[in-house]
């Protein structure tokens, strides 16, 4: 938080022409409550005049409202974004476009500016799988809407940048633990230290976290009994269960997550090094559109691992010229083990249970040079020239194994190895020709061999006719290069794509922001067009037969999908926000509302986008009594009615998930009498227990959706030692 | 600048080393035929499959009319080709044969009440009777 205030102060000082310095209490309050962002244009600037709708979620807010993951922060605190949870990794959508089971492919997620999405799968996680110890996060910057102009692929829904704490804000040692009753436990530890190294001001922050989810038991309901019509016997859906013919029941074993992560950030002079290491193992408890698996098998799981290094240097070559250099390297791999009763799942009755083992590995390293030319040395006319060059290596395969011995029972399928470069120059020009006008225009070219080069332009204008009032208009484009698994992957259930085009999105938006002291009102409208969305298309019998005849699919292929540029989406809507502080900043509040109309077009049909609500929002209020008294916080979120995620599967009847309201009450503060020790208690309630994600095999007459835990509560303790005087913050 | 690139080189050197996860082709050897699974192309298996196929679909084959009728139906044709490819019709034990062929029928979306099932069962009955000497010969 101190960093934020300092940044605002620095910003105010640097804005000579564009921003009047605060000269009264109200102005100061207004200035202190002004969000700043660096992600939208790579320069520190006010969110209100940034070239994209941007918001900043502070660590204070995360702590106050009992937020422990990125998706929770989005759900309860953000404007324009919406989350959707199954028992798996959560999805996040923006402005009415939520792509179910997306695994974060349409958001670019950064940690201190370092992109996490990998080139093989393109995934980014929003829960503990994001791979960053959450206690290290200082604030989260969210850029809503297309952001490829500076960041390239994947930034279609937006860019999320997790900024970690400076050592000054994380001085000393910190240990914390929380326990969610019947569900999960988290432990974390970290430290921050400042020192001199070869005469240069230096600092080191480190942190590690381990998250373990072991529940809760979840009742999915059951599908009607299914009988094998040939032998008259019921099907078996559980590896070690009786052949009852009934799919479903209560999950007791496979609803788990284990997620260790660690991070190191080192700064010395103008150098900065970030190192992240993480793993994310989770169960695959039930069949979804993408995965067919025996029910509640604890041995069916996915594991993702990542190691990332980012080294950067900032050179101020003159008062006008600044050169930022960044070298980075990432290693990411994924392994999924999915068990099936062999007869049904692997077309093999020589073993009882077979296991699909899908493995993928991607590595990439690159160099980004960014030259900033501050022509008038007052930030009013700045040219940014950048080039990002990287090399990517990917490999993937699928094996079919005997579960009991792990010996292969079939040949490896879909093995491929590729290595290709990516070259991306970009340019951005910012210009503030008058105190009331901020202009921004830029474009980026991404060139790789799989596709024709893609250009992602953006133009924005912000007008501040009077202090506190900002009109803004933005046009932007973004794209997503399909992951290699989409273009080159194949397997027992996946046919080769046969060629894909990059997905593209165009967006226009306008907004009005008005400040009244420490209060802010924002209203914006938007319109977006999405083209060439890549989706797994379930092949028809005729399509499968054609591929079998050409030897592309084995005769044993059963349920097969193929990635295709299948659909387009257009949407429009508005969002509105009201937030501020009262009572000398002791009371804070916020309200965000978004309403959209989103249509998916494919094969000549038009439907509401599955799992995407047309209305959603959140509200929050907190009061800090100060001293040893607790801080009370109440946050709520709302997601309107939306179709279930299999809406577009042929023959599937239209089914809607009910509106979902969630409330979370959090109390936190210092433990009296124990210096440095703080607590946090939080309880949450959901108004419905059913999500928008269908579970189980396709069974059109009955729709089962994954459950939502209606009641949950956690308690946490945090101990800070060896650093600055504790501030009496809640845990 | 020297220290800058030295530091970068050290860090990158640590990462360039081969990743832990191996993406190699599995060491799979096709198995000997047993219970009618004829994937290895062994002499006995291949011979049995060939003789069975001749009885089912060859000129003058005892089950050729049933085979032709099945093949005329896209779903039944797909299922029977799949079952033949896996040697299901060579299995003597009925339950084992059904177990072997079930995924083929599932793949072809053949369920009770569909005409394709009647055609498939008719061919199966023929294979179990008229062609029993060449088809349903391999132990369960």
Q: What does the pLDDT average to over A124-130? A: 96
pTM comes to 0.86
Contacts of B29 (CB under 8 A, 6+ apart): none
Name the residue among A507, A419, A511 with its Cα closest to residue A469. A511
DSSP assignment string, A109-177: EEETTEE---TTT----SSGGG-S-GGGEEEEEEEES--HHHH-TTTTSEEEEEEEPPGGGS-EEEEEE
From residue B109, how far is each of A379, A555, A597, B117 by CA, in Å? 66, 14, 37, 10
Asked if the C-beta of A327 comes within 8 angstroms of chain B's C-beta atoms, the answer is yes
Encode burial over A185-197: b for 16+ CB neighbours within 10 A, e otherwise: ebebbbbbbeeee
Q: Which residue has the higher pLDDT, A238 or A443?
A: A443
Query: How distant is the Cα of A247 from the closest Cα of chain B, in angstroms?
Result: 17
Strand-pairing partners, residue B1, are: none
| Contact residues on chain A for B15, CB-CB shorter than 8 A | 307, 309, 329, 331, 363, 365
Contact check, Cβ <8 Å, A349/B100 = yes
Name the closest residue on chain A to residue B85, using Cα atoms. Answer: A555
CA-CA distance, A293 to A694, in Å (whole number)?
14
pLDDT score of B83: 84
DSSP 3-state assignment of B96? helix
Helices (H) and strands (E) in chain A, counts: 8, 39
Lowest mean pLDDT among A118-127, A200-209, A247-256, A552-561: A552-561
Q: Give me the residues paired with residue A619 across strands.
A: A591, A636
pLDDT exceeds 80 at position A394:
yes
Q: How close B65 gets to chain A, by Cα (Å)?
A: 22
Token pair of B58 as six digits: 């060859």
The residue-averaged pLDDT of B9-32 equals: 65
3-class secondary structure, A553: coil
Averaged confidence pLDDT in chain A: 90
A108 neighbors A151 (Cβ within 8 angstroms): yes
More confident call, B49 vs A267? A267
Q: What are phi and psi of B90, to 5 degrees?
A: -85, -5
* Inter-chain touch B21–A409, beta carbons under 8 Å: no
Angle at the Cα of A453 (from A451 to A454), degrees rounded to 5? 105
pLDDT band at A702 (very low <50, low <70, confident <90, very high): confident
Tell me: the pLDDT tens digits for A664-694? 999 999 999 999 999 999 999 999 999 999 9
Give the span between the Cα atoms of A120 and A678, in whole angstroms.
42
Partner-chain contact A333 B19, CB within 8 Å: yes
Specify the higher pLDDT residue, A262 or A649. A262
Distance from CA of B5 to the nearest CA of A (A): 10
Residue B66 φ/ψ, nearest 5 degrees: -65, -40
- Length of chain A equals 731
Give me the pLDDT at residue A350, please.
75
Contact A555 B81 (CB under 8 A): yes
Q: Hey, are the CB atoms on B112 and A229 less than 8 Å from each other?
A: yes
Q: How much is the pLDDT for A84?
A: 94
Lowest average pLDDT, out of A22-36, A539-553, A595-609, B18-32, goes to A22-36
Which of residues 296 through 315 in chain A touch B, CB cutoff 8 A?
Answer: 305, 307, 309, 311, 313
| Contacts (Cβ under 8 Å, ≥6 apart) of A727 | none
SS3 state at B39: coil
pLDDT above 70 covers a percentage of chain A that reads: 91
For residues A318-334, average pLDDT? 97
A-to-B residue pairs, Cβ atoms closer than 8 angstroms:
116
- A643 Cβ contact partners less than 8 Å away, ≥ 6 residues apart: A607, A608, A609, A610, A611, A612, A654, A655, A656, A657, A692
Subunit contact A397:B25, Cβ cutoff 8 A: yes
Q: Does A335 touch chain B (CB under 8 A)?
A: yes
Q: What does the pLDDT average to over A616-624?
A: 98
* pLDDT for residue A24: 53
Q: Percentage of chain A with pLDDT > 90?
A: 76
Q: Which of A108-122, A357-371, B69-83 has the lowest mean pLDDT?
A: B69-83
In A410-449, the residues whose Cβ lies within 8 Å of chain B are 410-412, 415, 417
Q: Minimal Cα–Cα distance from B13 to chain A, Å? A: 10
Q: Which helix (H) or strand (E) holds B57?
A: helix B43-57
**Is the pLDDT score of B15 beyond 90?**
no
**Picking from A152-166, A337-351, A378-392, A507-521, which range would have the lowest pLDDT averaged per residue?**
A337-351
pLDDT at A174 (0 to 100): 97
The closest of A627, A641, A694, A637 to A662, measured between CA atoms, is A637
- For strand A561-582 and strand A494-495, is the pairing parallel, antiparallel, or unpaired? parallel
Please judge whether A229 and B111 are an interchain contact, meaning their C-beta atoms are less than 8 angstroms apart.
yes
pLDDT interval class at A5 (50, 70, 90): very low
pLDDT tens per residue across span A452-492 = 999 999 999 999 999 899 999 999 999 999 999 999 999 88
- C-alpha separations of A57 from A112, A138, A351, A623, B49 in Å: 14, 9, 52, 17, 68
Given pLDDT bands bounded at 50, 70 and 90, which one contains residue A321?
A: very high
* Residue A27: closest CA among A463, A579, A467, A584: A467
Which of B9, B14, B21 should be substituted to probe chain A, the one whose Cβ sees the most A Cβ atoms within 10 Å? B21
The interface pTM score, or ipTM, of the predicted complex is 0.79
* Residue A549 in contact with partner chain B when CB distance is under 8 A: no
CB distance A346 to A409 below 8 Å: yes
Residue that is written with structure tokens 């309201």 in the block: A661
DSSP string, A484-497: HHHHT--BTTEE--
Question: pLDDT tens, B84-126?
Answer: 877 788 777 776 777 778 778 877 777 665 678 778 888 888 8
* Residue A409 distance to chain B (closest CA, Å): 7
Q: Identify the band that residue B28 occupies on the pLDDT scale cut at 50, 70 and 90.
A: confident
Nearest-neighbour CA in chain A from B134: distance (Å): 22
Closest residue of chain A to B11, computed from CA coordinates = A309
Shortest Cα distance, chain A CAs vs residue B108, angstroms = 7
Q: Please name the residue that has the structure tokens 């083990």.
A: A337
A 185-244 → B contacts, CB under 8 A: 228-231
Of B7, B19, B35, the CB nearest to A331: B19
Question: Could you tell me if B64 lies within 8 Å of chain A, comparing CB atoms?
Answer: no
pLDDT, tens digit, for every residue of A558-573?
A: 678 899 999 999 999 9
Kindly determine whether residue B117 and residue A556, on different chains, have CB atoms separated by under 8 Å.
Answer: no
Measured between beta carbons, which residues in chain A are less than 8 angstroms from residue B31?
350, 409
Residues of B whose CB is below 8 A from A233:
none
Q: Please list every residue in chain B whose beta carbon sits closer than 8 Å to the beta carbon of residue A273.
A: 7, 11
Q: Residue A146 — very low, low, confident or very high, per pLDDT cuts 50/70/90?
A: very high
Which residues on neighbouring strands pair with residue A453, listed in sequence order? none
Q: How far is B29 from chain A (nearest CA, A)?
A: 8
B8 and A327: CB-CB below 8 Å?
Answer: yes
The average confidence (pLDDT) of chain B is 71
In order of A477, A539, A610, A655, A657, the CA distances from A645 in angstroms are: 26, 18, 5, 9, 9
pLDDT the model gives residue A10? 44
Q: Indicate the length of chain B as a whole number.
A: 140
**Residue found by looking up tokens 């996680």 in the block:** A125
């Amino acid at each position: 938080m101190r960093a934020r205030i300092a940044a605002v102060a620095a910003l105010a000082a640097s804005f000579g022409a564009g921003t009047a310095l605060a000269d009264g209490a109200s102005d100061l309050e207004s200035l202190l409550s002004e969000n700043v962002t660096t992600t939208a244009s790579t320069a520190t600037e006010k969110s209100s005049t940034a070239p994209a709708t941007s918001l900043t979620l502070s660590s204070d807010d995360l702590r106050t409202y009992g937020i422990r993951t990125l998706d929770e922060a989005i759900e309860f605190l953000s404007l324009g974004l919406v989350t959707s949870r199954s028992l798996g990794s959560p999805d996040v959508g923006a402005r009415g476009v939520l792509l179910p089971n997306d695994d974060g492919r349409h958001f670019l997620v950064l940690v201190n500016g370092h992109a996490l999405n990998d080139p093989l799968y393109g995934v980014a996680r929003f829960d503990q799988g994001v791979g960053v110890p959450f206690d290290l996060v200082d604030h989260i910057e969210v850029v809503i809407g297309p952001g490829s102009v500076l960041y390239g692929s994947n930034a279609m829904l937006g860019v999320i940048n997790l900024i970690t704490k400076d050592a000054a804000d994380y001085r000393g040692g910190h240990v914390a633990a929380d326990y969610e009753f019947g569900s999960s436990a988290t432990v974390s530890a970290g430290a921050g230290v400042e020192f001199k190294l070869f005469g240069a001001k230096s600092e080191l922050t480190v942190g590690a976290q381990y998250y373990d989810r072991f529940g809760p038991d979840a009742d999915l309901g059951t599908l009607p009994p299914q009988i094998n019509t040939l032998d008259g016997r019921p099907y078996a859906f559980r590896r070690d269960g009786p052949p009852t013919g009934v799919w479903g029941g209560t999950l007791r074993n496979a609803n788990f997550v284990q997620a260790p992560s660690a991070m190191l950030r080192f700064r010395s002079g103008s150098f900065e090094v970030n190192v992240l290491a993480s793993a994310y193992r989770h169960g695959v408890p039930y069949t979804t559109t993408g995965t067919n698996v025996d029910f509640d098998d604890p041995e069916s799981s996915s594991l993702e691992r990542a190691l990332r290094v980012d080294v950067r240097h900032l050179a101020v070559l003159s008062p006008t010229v600044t050169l930022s250099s960044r070298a980075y390297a990432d290693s990411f791999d994924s392994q999924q083990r999915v068990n099936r009763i062999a007869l049904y799942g692997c077309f093999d009755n020589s073993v009882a249970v077979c296991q699909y083992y899908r493995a993928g590995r991607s590595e990439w390293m690159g160099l980004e040079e960014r030259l900033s030319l501050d022509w008038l040395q007052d930030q009013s006319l700045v040219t940014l020239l950048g080039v990002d060059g990287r090399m990517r290596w990917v490999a993937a395969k699928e094996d079919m194994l005997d579960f009991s011995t792990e010996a292969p029972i079939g040949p490896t399928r879909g093995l491929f190895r590729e290595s290709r470069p990516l070259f991306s120059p970009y340019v951005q020009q910012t210009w503030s020709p008058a105190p009331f006008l901020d202009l921004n225009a830029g474009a980026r070219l991404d060139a790789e061999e799989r596709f024709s080069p893609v250009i992602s332009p953006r133009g924005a204008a912000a007008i501040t006719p009077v202090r506190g009032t900002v009109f803004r208009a933005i046009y932007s484009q973004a794209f997503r290069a399909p992951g290699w698994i989409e273009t080159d992957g194949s397997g027992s259930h996946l046919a080769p794509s046969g060629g894909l085009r990059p997905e593209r999105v165009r967006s226009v938006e306008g907004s009005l922001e008005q400040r009244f002291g420490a209060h802010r009102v924002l209203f914006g409208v938007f319109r977006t067009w999405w083209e060439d969305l890549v989706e797994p298309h379930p092949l028809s019998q005729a399509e499968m037969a054609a591929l079998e005849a050409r030897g592309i699919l084995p005769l044993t292929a059963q349920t097969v999908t193929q990635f295709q540029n299948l659909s387009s989406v257009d949407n429009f809507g508005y969002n509105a926000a009201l937030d501020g502080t009262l009572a000398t900043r002791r009371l804070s509040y916020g309200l965000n509302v978004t309403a959209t109309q989103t249509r998916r077009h494919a094969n000549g049909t038009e439907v509401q986008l599955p799992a995407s609500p047309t209305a959603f929002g959140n509200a929050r209020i907190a009061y800090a009594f100060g001293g040893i008294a607790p801080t009370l916080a109440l946050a709520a979120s709302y997601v309107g009615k939306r179709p279930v995620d299999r809406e577009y599967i042929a023959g599937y009847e239209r089914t809607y998930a009910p509106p979902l309201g969630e409330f979370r009450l959090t109390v936190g503060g210092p433990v009296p009498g124990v210096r440095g020790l703080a607590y946090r208690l939080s309880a949450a309630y959901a108004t419905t227990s059913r999500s928008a994600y269908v579970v189980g095999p396709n069974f059109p007459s009955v729709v089962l959706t994954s459950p939502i835990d209606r009641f949950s509560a956690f308690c946490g303790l945090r101990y800070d030692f060896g650093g600055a005087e504790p501030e009496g913050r809640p845990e | 600048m020297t220290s800058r690139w030295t530091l970068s080189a050290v860090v990158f050197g640590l990462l360039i080393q081969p990743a832990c996860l191996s993406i190699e082709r599995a060491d799979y050897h096709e198995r000997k035929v047993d219970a009618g699974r004829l994937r290895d192309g062994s002499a006995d298996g291949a011979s049995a499959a060939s003789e069975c196929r001749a009885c089912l679909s060859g000129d003058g084959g005892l089950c050729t009319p049933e085979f032709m009728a099945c093949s005329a139906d896209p779903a039944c044709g797909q299922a029977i080709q799949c079952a033949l490819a896996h040697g299901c019709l060579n299995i003597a034990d009925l339950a084992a044969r059904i177990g072997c062929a079930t995924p083929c029928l599932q793949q072809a979306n053949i369920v009770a009440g569909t005409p394709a099932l009647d055609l498939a069962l008719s061919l199966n009955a023929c294979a179990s009777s008229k062609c029993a000497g060449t088809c349903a010969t391999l132990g369960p």
